[in-house]
């Protein structure tokens, strides 16, 4: 059974939506506050979110921005609900990544049809991601492929005494970029960085997108020193990319975490080491490369 999260500060709207969506056979969860709904989305991973725009504590646009900035929730389709028919609000909603915009009062058949379409697209995207193991936004390998590939490479490194490293790359301030310039601009940034990483990779390497703004590189036959050297070069190249936002030049920066496989490591251990290195890079000021617990001048 597919699930629908409703975030709206009106109990009457919740009751109305429950009645009008009943024929769809959805499991509904409810939240009257934006911040509580955001946490519920992160913990339950609903298939679709119906999100009110005007709420007192945290408005719908703020909730949407948080959802689309989180790798765990960015792919959940969002339908905005509002009493306003403003073109400006509609454009803003779509720019932030919403799949639809429905005005109150709801017409039952129209609402149900819009929800069905969004769920159908979500189902197809999930199937494609699972079968093709490709991230739909960037065309890179996705997290599912990364997990399988890393298991294979760790096994090969153990059997043949090969070196193996993982690099995690996170775009600094991506949430603010999306909030200031809109999701379409943010998508262009991610896509251009994807192209750069693919262009710099060797055929034997794997370039993956873990959702949101994080990339993972699986570097075979590569020790920690060489992986760090490559990471420093990639960080510099990302900083040299030129974008234009609102008619003005715009540049981005990235943080990198590097880890090398050791004979006592599982694949998950290697990823944990890289994640800890990336977190250290973020905590120490961003726009830098960190290997294990050591900061690398770059």
User: Is the pLDDT assigned to residue 295 strictly greater than 70?
Assistant: no
pLDDT of 120-139, one tens digit each? 998 888 877 777 788 888 98
User: Is the pLDDT assigned to residue 287 strictly greater than 80?
Assistant: yes
Mean pLDDT taken over the chain: 90
Rounded-to-integer distance, Cα 234 and Cα 291, Å: 15
**Phi and psi based region of residue 52 (left: phi greater than 0; alpha: psi -120 to 50; beta: remaining):** beta
pLDDT of 51-67, one tens digit each? 999 998 899 999 999 99
* Strand pairing class (48-52; 3-7): parallel
Domain ranges of the chain: 3-132, 143-296
- Confidence at 184, pLDDT banded by 50, 70, 90: confident
- Model confidence, pTM: 0.66
CATH number of 143-296: 3.30.70.270
CATH topology classification for 3-132: Rossmann fold (3.40.50)
Rg of the chain over CA atoms, in angstroms?
Answer: 21
Q: For 249-275, b where at least 16 C-beta lie within 10 A, e where not — what string?
A: eeebebbbbbbbbeeebebeebbebbb
Tokens (6 digits) for 218: 């699986």
* φ, ψ for residue 72, nearest 5 deg: -80, -20
Residue 223's contacts (CB-CB under 8 Å, 6 or more residues apart) are: 163, 165, 260
Residue 175's contacts (CB-CB under 8 Å, 6 or more residues apart) are: 65, 66, 69
């Amino acid at each position: 059974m597919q699930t629908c999260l409703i975030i709206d500060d009106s109990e009457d709207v919740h009751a109305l939506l429950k009645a009008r969506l009943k024929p769809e056979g959805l499991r509904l969860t409810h939240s009257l506050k934006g911040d509580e709904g955001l946490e519920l989305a992160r913990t339950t991973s609903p298939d679709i979110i119906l999100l009110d725009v005007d709420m007192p504590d945290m408005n719908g646009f703020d909730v949407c921005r948080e959802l689309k900035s989180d790798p765990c929730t960015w792919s959940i389709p969002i339908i905005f609900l509002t009493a306003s028919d403003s073109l400006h609000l509609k454009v803003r909603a779509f720019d932030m990544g919403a799949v639809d915009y429905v005005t109150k009062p709801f017409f039952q058949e129209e609402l149900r049809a819009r929800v069905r379409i969004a769920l159908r697209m979500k189902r197809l995207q999930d199937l494609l991601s699972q079968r093709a193991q490709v991230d739909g936004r960037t065309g890179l390998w996705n997290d599912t492929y990364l997990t399988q590939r890393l298991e294979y490479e760790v096994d090969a490194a153990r059997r043949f005494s090969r070196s193996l490293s993982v690099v995690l790359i996170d775009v600094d301030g991506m949430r603010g970029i999306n909030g200031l310039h809109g999701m379409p601009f943010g998508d262009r940034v991610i896509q251009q960085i994807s192209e750069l990483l693919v262009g710099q990779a060797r055929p034997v390497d794997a370039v993956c997108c873990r959702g949101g703004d994080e990339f993972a590189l699986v570097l075979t036959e590569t020790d920690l020193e060489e992986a760090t050297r490559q990471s420093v070069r990639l960080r510099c190249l990302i900083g040299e990319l030129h974008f234009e936002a609102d008619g003005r030049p715009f540049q981005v920066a990235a943080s990198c975490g590097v880890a090398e496989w050791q004979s006592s490591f599982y694949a998950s251990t290697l990823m944990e080491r890289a994640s800890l290195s990336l977190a250290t890079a973020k905590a120490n000021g961003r726009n830098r490369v960190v290997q294990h617990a050591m900061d690398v001048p770059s």
